[in-house]
Amino acid sequence: MKITLVHPAGSNWMPGKKDISATANRMAPLGLLSIAAYLEQQGHRVTVLDCLGPQAPGNAGEAARRVLAGTPDLVGVTATTSGFLDGYAIASALKAISPHLPIAFGGVHVSALGAHLLKQFPLIDFLCLGEGEQTLTELADGKNPVSIGGLVWRDGDLLHTNPPRQHLQELDALPYPAYEKLDGFPQRYHLPLFSYVRAPGATMITSRGCPYQCSYCDRSVFQRGYRANSAEYIYEHIKYLRQKFGVRHINIYDDLFTLDRPRIEALCALLASKPLGIQFNCAVRVGHADKELLRLLRRAGCLMVSLGIESGEPALLDVHKPGVYLEAVQDTVARIQQADLRVKGLFMMGLPGETVASAKKTSDFALDLDLDDMNMAKFTPFHGAPIWGDIATYGEFREDWRLMNCLNFVFRPKDIDSWETLELLYNMHVKRFYSDPAWRRRFRSRLWQHRHSIYRLLRHLPDFLMAMRAFEPKQQ
């Protein structure tokens, strides 16, 4: 069967502003590429349309025409919350021209909401809940929908939700994602600015699931179980990216890369004894980043680790990230720096319970840590997150799917008096961090190392200046 998989662009910036997200950080859609590789392994022919890619279509109609040019027998669309409506616009354009073309949707938003979406969006024929590789393949194989685990489907006016599919336990049996399906990969797929010193870059995911339960994290696809590729598989995957595509830096986007200590020890030993000329970044969690493990990561080629911190207010951490304490964060950051690794702090503003005082504490804490980089997300309540059911009791929520991308505030905590105050607190924090003299001295000392990022920044300087102005505090 001929199948086209679509990654919709969605809304990835702020209303009224030019979307520069793909310029700043264009990531390969790894989930879609994994499904594409699996489908081809099972004998199907697959095309991928990345609507955030370098040759992206300008609108839903153009995307539909590109899809139909390949005369597919089945179309699959993956969707985040902010991308779902864009994906549905493409589906609508497809059905207007080819009304009998079957269209399946999958992804985290679909897995969280389930059959409700088929009621509200009648042009979708199937939903693939959870992991999509086997579910979509069985659909493409022509298997009776009633027997396909994880499928939601229509039978006239009736909707059927099949029993969930068991998770893939042996991830090493999966082929590498079909990177070759992307136009311009890897040169035109960019890692976040200043997060690397070698180019080109790529991304990987080496595990699925996380045993922790942060209040804001949607686990609808992989749930709380944990499965991982072996060290040998990861090493060969990295080798494949290096030899076939010339990749020199990899960002590993596992939820919890270092959970399985023996796996990471074995991987680091392979990368140290048989180096591939690649550096990598990964994320660690407080409690999974001891001194020896960090030393091994450094020897293996790790450049920077990200650490989920979220807030400088202990009361907020107790509710939203239980088991993480400020003293432990300070100790972990110090160990990372002692291992000669860079450290990036991941924060979140606007959590339920946030106050002006707690936002100030977070800003102070971020500066005191002397971080190499920082990312401040805007809290977004997603349908599959533990906090979702009670979100209305904590403040004001504007459920606009297009804006639910962690780049816009859609929730205002009850102790923040206005949306304008929330934006002001956020912009003040971002401006304060990147204006800090110590951070600027460190940044200037690394300018030559970051020449690839500087070149990209200069090529798109007007867009980046516009984005910087968006973070200028606007006094009320």
- Residue 20: the pLDDT is 66
- Dist. CA 325–CA 308, nearest whole Å: 11
- Residue 223: the pLDDT is 64
For domain 2-161, which CATH number applies: 3.40.50.850, 3.40.50.1370, 4.10.410.60, 3.40.50.280?
A: 3.40.50.280
Q: Which residues contact 124 (CB under 8 A, 6 or more apart)?
A: 88, 91, 103, 104, 105, 117, 118
Region of 37 on the Ramachandran plot (φ > 0 left; ψ -120 to 50 alpha; else beta):
alpha
- Residue 256: the pLDDT is 87
Q: Which residues of the chain have pLDDT under 70?
A: 12-22, 222-224, 467-476
Q: Where are the alpha helices (DSSP H) in 171-313?
A: 231-245, 261-273, 291-300
- Residue 372: the pLDDT is 97
- Dist. CA 252–CA 34, nearest whole Å: 15
Do 151 and 125 touch, CB atoms closer than 8 A?
no
- Residue 410: the pLDDT is 97
- Residue 161: the pLDDT is 96
- Residue 225: the pLDDT is 78
The CATH number assigned to the domain with range 191-470 reads: 3.20.20.70
Task: Tell me how crowded residue 45 is: count the other CB atoms within 10 A of its CB.
Answer: 13
- Residue 460: the pLDDT is 80
pTM (whole model) above 0.95: no
- Domain residue ranges in the chain: 2-161, 191-470
Task: Tell me how crowded residue 408 is: count the other CB atoms within 10 A of its CB.
Answer: 18
195-247: pLDDT as tens digits = 999 999 999 999 998 888 899 998 777 666 799 999 999 999 999 999 999 99
